[in-house]
Amino acid sequence: MLREQRGLSSETVQTTADTAKDLYVELTDQHQFSMTLDTLKVVVNEEFREWDHALNEGDTVVFIPPVAGG
């Protein structure tokens, strides 16, 4: 869903965000994402993390929306 809203499957950004939450808020302000933090999971460097996880230069961050299975 975020991919469709943004029109990109990935992007490299420069940010001053300290945490994963700060990054998502920054990106939401820029791109008007409709999904809220409580509906997403965050992955930093291929590991699920909490939203208050501190970010470092070069981190790879992925926001994962809910998925349906069956």
pTM: 0.82
The pLDDT tens digits of the residues spanning 19-65 come to: 999 999 999 998 888 889 999 999 999 999 999 999 999 999 999 98
Q: Is residue 46 part of a domain?
A: yes
Residue 37 is predicted with a pLDDT of: 93
- Domain with residue 17: its CATH number is 3.10.20.30
Contacts of 20 (CB under 8 A, 6+ apart): 42, 44, 49, 50, 51, 52, 53, 55, 61
Q: What is the domain range of residue 56?
A: 2-64
